Structure formats: structure tokens, C-alpha cells
Structure 1
Amino acid sequence: MKKHLIYIATDPNRAYVEAGYTQDLIAQSANLQFHSIRNTGKLPKFNRIVHVEEFTSFESAQKRLMELTHFTRMQKERLIRKHNPNWLNITSSCGAISNHPTVRVAQALAAAY
């Protein structure tokens, strides 16, 4: 069964926070790293994934993504700080993502949808 993941990414200064969708978090993290290195313009350089939510259906993942994109910055910060207070990159732990508290909470959230 495919996993549908909603993530929140940020830049090194935590100035920008953006939500996105992926099915492969490790590949998405590598993609963000690659583009942050190549990006020489004034665009934000997202290089860390600080929050993840896992869903079993594409529809519920898209519904949650729409909710997150309409969140204010403060709401997104509260969500991140609740489960990842130091804003650590959760994909840097050698792919051991399924045991991360953010994903465990996300699985409980997915059950509500």
C-alpha cells in the first residue's frame, strides 16, 4: 500500500515554511537539498523537512495539504514546535522516519480523516 506524506519544509533561518506532498520522503529531502545548493537566486532555499504526516489515501492527504497551505505562519510554527521543538531535520536519521514522534502523531491524525 502506498504512503501519502504531507511535509513541512523550512530554510536554514526558519524564515520560510512551506507544506508539500510526496510519496518518498527521502527522495524529496534529497531533492530539496539539491535545489537549495543549486539555487543562486533570491528564492527560499528549503533544505530541511521538520514535520511529516502520513495518510493512507491520496484524497485525505490532499485535504490535509489544503488545510496546511491555508494555515498562518504561526499555526504552522505551533504544529512544528509541538512535535519537533528544535526544528531538526527528521530525514537525517538514516531513514528511520517511521519511529519519529511526528509520524506517529500523523498516523493518529490520519485516522481522523
Structure 2
Amino acid sequence: MKKHLIYIATDPNRAYVEAGYTQDLITQSANLQFHSSRNVGKLPKFNRIVHVEEFASFDSAQKRLMELTHFTRMQKERLIRKHNPNWLNLTSSSTAMSSHPALRVSHALMAAY
């Protein structure tokens, strides 16, 4: 069974927050790191994934992604702080992804859909 993951990424200064979809969180994190290091313009340099939700189906993941993209910045910040108050990078080697409270939220959300 494929995992369908919705994530929220941010830049080092937390100035920008953006939601996205992936099936492989580690690869997505590496892509964000790579593109942020090569980006020399005024575009945001997303380099940290600070919130993740897992879904069983693609449709439910896309529905949640649409919700998150319509959230205000304050709503996204509340969601992140509720499960990851220090805005830690959930894909770093020092963070145990499977035991992190921000990842446990996904199972409760899956039951709601």
C-alpha cells in the first residue's frame, strides 16, 4: 500500500510556509534542500518539513491538501505549533520520524475522512 503524505515546508526564517504532496518524504526533503541551495533569486528557500500527515488514499490526501492551501498563515502556524512547537525538521537524521508527535496526527485525521 502506497503512503500519501501531505507536508508543510518552511524556510530558515519561517517567513514562508507551503503545503505539498508526496509519496516519499525523504526524497522530497532532499529535493527541497537541493533547490534551496541552488536558488539565488528572491524565491523562498524551503528547506525544512515541519508538519506531515499520512493518508490511505490519494483522494483524501488531495482533499486535505486543498484545505491546507486555503488555510491562512495563522492557521498553518497553529497546526504546526500544535504538533511540532519548535518547528523541527521532521526529516533530519536526528529526528526519529516514526516516533515524532507530528506524525501521529495523521492516524487521527485519517479516521475523520
TM-score (structure 1 length as normaliser): 0.96
Offset at residue 95 of structure 1 (A): 7.4
SS at match of 1:45: coil
1:53-75 C-alpha deviation (Å, 9 max, x unpaired): 00000000000000000000000
Task: Output the CA distance in 2 between the equivalents of 1:93 and 1:79.
Answer: 23
Task: Output the CA distance in 2 between the equivalents of 1:70 and 1:50.
Answer: 18
Alignment of 1:72-83 (within 5 A): 72-83=72-83
Task: Output the CA distance in 2 between the equivalents of 1:46 and 1:104.
Answer: 23
1:10 aligns with 2:26: no
Structure 2, unpaired ranges of 5+: none
Task: Output the CA distance in 2 between the equivalents of 1:94 and 1:88.
Answer: 10
Task: Output the CA distance in 1 between the equivalents of 2:74 and 2:49.
Answer: 17
Q: Is the 8 A contact 1:26 1:95 kept in 2?
A: no
Offset at residue 93 of structure 1 (A): 3.3
Alignment of 1:83-98 (within 5 A): 83-93=83-93, 96-98=96-98
Task: Output the CA distance in 2 between the equivalents of 1:111 and 1:93.
Answer: 29
TM-score (structure 2 length as normaliser): 0.96
List 4+ stretches of structure 1 deviating above 4 A. Answer: none
- Which stretch of the first structure deviates more once superposed, 101-110 or 88-97? 88-97
Q: CA RMSD in A?
A: 1.1
Task: Output the CA distance in 1 between the equivalents of 2:26 and 2:4.
Answer: 13
